[in-house]
Structure 1
Amino acid sequence: MVPTISQERSTWRFGSVEVLALLLVALVALRNPLATLVSDPRLQTWTTVFVSVMVQAVPFLIFGVVLSAVIAVFVPRSFWAKALPRHPALAVPAAGLAGVVLPGCECGSVPIAGSLIRRGVTPAAALAFLLAAPAVNPIVLTATAVAFPGNPEMVAARAVASLIVAIAMGWLWLRLGRSEWIRLPHRSGLDDASRARAFWASCRHDVMHAGGFLVIGAAAAATINVVVPESWLQTLAAHPVLSVAALATLAVLLSICSEADAFVAASLSQFSLTSRLVFLVVGPMVDLKLIAMQTGVFGRRFAARFAPATFVTAVLVGVGVGTVIW
């Protein structure tokens, strides 16, 4: 028996998602009063960075959660069998190229990738989409062009390097990945519910799993911004190898949204273009908030293997593409 609209309304209650939403709204609205209460400049910096990461990420997280729920509830499984090549090795580059047409950031791609796997898409293809979408979509590439007006080749370098990493990681998963490494959280009751209830339940589920870990990642990024001295970066910039390692690590620690990271990279003018390209390739694929969110959506065993492998691949490909272009 399908529940009526009145029955659905009667079961609604003020839950954890509503509490999280109110806390985020209050945090943004009271940012300035909270900052004045904190006299220590380091604590003020921490608060500013934390709120900035959350403000950047939450809209795209919501977009990803809603799109994930649409995929889980309204898109039939047969659609993916027709949309992607049947052979997994061909489905990986097809899924990577699909990221070109979907504006969004890494915070939204994580729940979308989880939903794709639930709908029967091979994990290798879903992971290729997860890595490609935040780095090669039109919004990110346009922002990169604006941030580097004197170096238009940075746009092509970022797109090519990011797409290579995404496809390479998808194929690597086909070769070495194991299904038991991915443990998607159980969603109870969606199959027997109406579409409206299933859609809302899916949104609530993904917001709590991805959003909770996003808060942890944002707090970690804010802490790193306060702890790491800027003088260290100036010293490292003088060494070609160390500069690449420094910006790759910095991309992980800062956890900047892919729509904004190009402007940060452009401001690091003391570093070479190749090291800044590595920063742009690594950031949307491996950072603190992403590792935390992937842990919440796919499980710890997955994140512990996938994040380090992606980091190494992104650095090597970024250096290779940068060496060829510059």
Structure 2
Amino acid sequence: MGPGSPAAEPPADGPRRFLGDRVGSVEVLAGLLILLVVFREPVADLLSAPRWQTWTTVFVSILVQAMPFLVFGVMLSAVIAVFVPRSFWARALPRRPGLAVPLAGAAGFVLPGCECGAVPIAGSLIRRGVTPAAALAFLLAAPAINPIVLVATAVAFPGNPEMVLARGLASLVVAVLMGWLWLRLGRADWIRLPHRPDLDGLSRGAAFWAAIRHDVTHAGGFLVLGAMAAASINVLVPKRWLQTLADNPVLSVLALAVLAVLLSLCSEADAFVAASLSQFSLTSRLVFLVVGPMVDLKLIAMQSGVFGRRFALRFAPATFVVAVTVAVATGAVLL
């Protein structure tokens, strides 16, 4: 083939494509390590600063406290997704939707799962013939009232055992109310039937470990981001600003409700972040704990993918309003 032949010329985007294919997380990590070696003295000075030491202490303490609950919760969620037959709910729930809603919500205590796992499970329930209102009640209740979350809340608030009761009760009430609200106002065309889960084609063992790897990667990443955000709030935000928000009952509730949506924490770990926000009242932190497992950025994205955008744009705002209202009322009575 002659030198002037087009086939002899390398593709114009060859080097760029080669580099794009080779640069991944390992290369990025190697580059960061090289930068740390080159700039080790400035980095050492930065790490010795008192504010950074405080940040590191808060960050590590949240991770150390929360990680065992996160891992255990993810393992339980994987067991439920793989080993519990999907037909179980259709047989166990009453045929009358009004009765199926509270039973499905209460079943979140028996069959726990994190919010990341509850979304595809709820989609599978609807696909198997469970009324959407009952599936949505389970979707909201399971991440908030399961034993792992309640024990984690008790550990995070050792001096306030009433927080466990308040969180469980408020979360269950919100789940049931949203289920009944869907029965009255919801429309079938707002829900797009979910696709079959990717785990269906795998053996039970492979599906179990695939579910664990997926949930640990995603939930663990959100936990790290949440711990970083909580540590940054404690260190970077002036205490007088936080105190101003904390001293105003309305602003404190709204601030922590919005913060729960933005942080997108896993429900097995959010109690430890809430406990670190000690400037705020127990009622405000209860709002944080009730809203977070039901409405946050990752859940809105997951619900859009599983149930459709029309569903998420209606369901998430309604859940937010109901969750804040019920949490405030519960906190006023129990806290």
* Matched ranges for 1:192-207 at <5 A: 196=203
Taking the aligned partners of 1:297 and 1:143, their CA distance within structure 2 comes to 29
Compute the displacement of 1:222 (Å).
Answer: 9.2
Q: Distance in 1 between matches of 2:97 and 2:225?
A: 36
The higher radius of gyration belongs to 2
TM-score of the aligned structures, taking structure 2 as reference length: 0.70
User: 1:151: how far off?
Assistant: 1.2
Q: Deviations over 1:2-53 (max 9, x none)?
A: xxxxxxxxxxxxxxxxxxxx96xx69x9898499489799xxx9xx99xx7x
- Kindly indicate whether the alpha-carbon contact (under 8 Å) linking 2:223 and 2:269 is maintained by their aligned counterparts in 1: no
Is 1:140 matched with 2:149? yes
Count of matched residue pairs:
291
Residues 292 and 212 (structure 1), Cα distance of their counterparts in 2 relative to 1, 3 Å cut: farther
Q: Does residue 129 of structure 2 align to residue 120 of structure 1? A: yes
Residues 151-300 of structure 1 mapped to structure 2, 5 A cutoff: 151-187=160-196, 196=203, 229=237, 231=239, 232-300=241-309
Counterpart position of 1:306:
315
Asked whether the 8 Å contact 1:65–1:112 carries over to 2, the reply is no
User: How far is the alpha carbon of 1:305 from its aligned partner?
Assistant: 0.9
- Deviations 1:227-246 (Å, cap 9, x if unpaired)? 99465433211101100111
**Counterpart amino acid of 1:161?**
A
Deviations 1:204-238 (A, max 9, x none): 89x99x99998998899799777994654332111
Indicate conservation of the 8 Å contact 1:162/1:314, yes or no: yes
**1:68 is aligned with what amino acid?**
A
Structure 1 residues 172 and 36: CA distance shift in structure 2, 3 A = farther
Deviations 1:92-132 (A, max 9, x none): 00011111122332111111111111111111111111111
Distance 1:97 1:223, change over 3 A: same
For the residues of structure 1 that align with 2:138 and 2:34, how far apart are their CA atoms?
A: 39
Greater shift in the superposed pair: 263-272 or 316-325: 263-272
State the one-letter code of the partner of 2:81. S
> 2:108 aligns to what SS in structure 1?
helix
Give the deviation of 1:134 after TM superposition.
Answer: 0.9
Tell me, yes or no, if the aligned pair for 1:214 and 1:292 is still in contact at 8 Å. no
1:259 maps to a residue whose letter is: E
CA contact (8 A) 1:220 1:288 kept: no
Asked if the contact 1:89–1:171 (Cα under 8 Å) also holds between the matched residues in 2, the reply is: yes
Q: TM-score, normalised by structure 1?
A: 0.71
What is the one-letter code of the residue matched to 2:181? L
Aligned to 2:328: 319
Please give the secondary structure, in 2, of the residue aligned with 1:269: coil
Structure 1 counterpart of 2:11: none
Which residue number in structure 1 is paired with residue 5 of structure 2?
none
Task: Show CA shifts across 1:301-320 (max 9, x none).
Answer: 11111111111100000000
Task: State the distance in 2 between where 1:101 and 1:34 align.
Answer: 49
Structure 1's 113 and 57: CA in aligned 2 closer, same or farther, altered over 3 A?
Answer: farther
Contact 1:214 1:293 in 2 (8 A): no
Q: In 2, are the aligned partners of 1:84 and 1:94 still within 8 Å (CA)?
A: yes
Residues 166-202 of structure 1: CA distance to partner in whole angstroms, max 9, x if unpaired?
10011111111111111134449999x8x859x9799
For structure 2, which runs of at least 5 residues remain unmatched after alignment?
1-23, 48-54
**Equivalent residue for 2:101, pick from 69, 92, 95:** 92
Percent of pairs identical after alignment?
63
- Alignment equivalent of 2:118, drawn from 95, 109, 119: 109
Q: Distance in 2 between matches of 1:190 and 1:268?
A: 38
Q: Is the Cα–Cα contact under 8 Å of residues 195 and 306 in structure 2 kept in the other structure?
A: no
Equivalent pair of 2:226/2:273 in contact (CA under 8 Å): no
Aligned to 1:68: 81
By how many angstroms is 1:270 displaced? Answer: 1.2
123 and 32 in structure 1: CA distance in 2 versus 1, 3 angstrom threshold: farther
The answer to whether the Cα contact below 8 Å between 1:63 and 1:108 also exists between their aligned partners in 2 is no
Distance 1:32 1:286, change over 3 A: farther
**Contact 2:98–2:180 (8 Å) recurs in 1:** yes
1:300 deviates by 1.2
